[in-house]
């Protein structure tokens, strides 16, 4: 699908955790705005290298939580390698049995990352949320272009999907969003195209140019086009052609 270092990890992740459709709601004031004290007082918990997992005593997968934690750590290790980061602080990770349970305890459906905590339901794929958590440790110092964060989420939430093939398909259907427009989140009104292209772009940037320039783009305060020109040394149109050639080649559809 895409190569940023150790793609074999993703084959193991897909085997361990079923890929489910996920509603992304990554915004807000952080877990400090959600009262988790009742959960922490009454739920089981244990910590791993990068997470503190909380789960109800009656969890139907109580005997498999260690496998789940191992999966999350594998995803996290891959992201730390790809992004060249090492978080200083652990991330609280709340795993609910049902949406009804989350509604009663936190007053909203699960399926989001806020600031320094992940809230999800059993059966959801953790990859996208772990990606957002790792991106947060970059974002604490610099706000990114939305397409970068959304692209990383999409890459890790559905690791079995060939985003380059999907993007090439949208191009053939004349639904392609030009690179200059991709940084404008108003184009998320066609979310299927937007998220596929954002994921393809992130994979291209990381595989072709590495994490250093990716993080420079993440923290740039210039416009998207000027940032591409200064960091990657190419005019936006020329850089788009290079990206198109990359995803067409990686799509396996040419």
Q: What is the CATH number of the domain that holds 39?
A: 3.40.30
Tokens, residue 242: 């290079």
Question: H or E stretch including 94?
Answer: strand 91-96
Same domain, 13 and 61: yes
Question: β-pairing, 91-96 with 117-121?
Answer: parallel
The pLDDT tens digits for 159-211 are 889 999 999 999 999 999 999 999 888 888 899 999 999 999 999 999 999 99
Q: Write the Ramachandran bin of 162: left for phi over 0, alpha for psi from -120 to 50, otherwise beta.
A: beta
pLDDT of residue 25: 35
Indicate whether 2 belongs to any domain. no
pLDDT of residue 91: 95
The pLDDT tens digits for 69-104 are 999 999 999 999 988 888 888 999 999 999 999 999
CA–CA dist 123, 45 (Å, integer): 19
CA–CA dist 102, 108 (Å, integer): 6
Whole-structure pTM value? 0.82
Residue labelled with tokens 């940037």 = 205
The answer, yes or no, to whether residue 24 has pLDDT greater than 70, is no
Same domain, 81 and 154: no
Indicate whether 1 belongs to any domain. no
Structural domain that includes position 232: 146-251
Yes or no: say if 145 and 224 are a contact pair by the CB < 8 Å rule. Answer: yes
pLDDT of residue 187: 81
Question: β-pairing, 44-47 with 51-55?
Answer: antiparallel
Beta bridge partners of 47: 52
pLDDT of residue 65: 84
pLDDT of residue 32: 53
* Number of domains forming the structure of the chain: 2
Same domain, 135 and 152: no
CA–CA dist 219, 138 (Å, integer): 8
Same domain, 154 and 96: no
142 band by pLDDT with thresholds 50, 70 and 90: low
The answer, yes or no, to whether residue 110 has pLDDT greater than 60, is yes
Percent of the chain with pLDDT over 70: 86
140 band by pLDDT with thresholds 50, 70 and 90: confident
141 band by pLDDT with thresholds 50, 70 and 90: low
């Amino acid at each position: 699908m895409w190569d940023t270092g150790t793609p074999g990890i993703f084959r193991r992740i897909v085997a361990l955790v079923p890929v489910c459709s996920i509603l992304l709601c990554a915004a807000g004031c952080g877990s400090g705005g959600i009262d988790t004290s009742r959960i922490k007082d009454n739920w089981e918990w244990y910590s791993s290298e990068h997470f503190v997992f909380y789960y109800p005593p009656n969890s139907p997968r109580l005997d498999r939580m260690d496998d789940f934690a191992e999966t999350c750590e594998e995803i996290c290790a891959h992201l730390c390698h790809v992004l060249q980061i090492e978080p200083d602080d652990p991330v609280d990770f709340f795993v609910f049995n049902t949406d009804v349970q989350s509604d009663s305890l936190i007053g909203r459906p699960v399926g989001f990352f806020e600031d320094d905590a992940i809230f999800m339901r059993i059966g959801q794929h953790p990859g996208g949320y772990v990606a957002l958590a790792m991106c947060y440790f970059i974002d604490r110092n610099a706000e990114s272009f939305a397409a970068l964060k959304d692209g990383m989420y999409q890459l890790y939430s559905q690791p079995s999907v060939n985003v380059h093939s999907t993007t090439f398909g949208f191009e053939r259907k004349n639904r392609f969003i030009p690179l200059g427009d991709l940084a404008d989140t108003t184009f998320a009104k066609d979310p299927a195209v937007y998220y596929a292209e954002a994921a393809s772009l992130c994979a291209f940037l990381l595989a072709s140019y590495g994490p250093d320039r990716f993080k420079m783009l993440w923290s740039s305060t210039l416009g998207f086009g000027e940032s591409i020109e200064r960091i990657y040394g190419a005019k936006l149109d020329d850089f788009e052609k290079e990206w198109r050639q990359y995803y067409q080649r990686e799509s396996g559809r040419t």
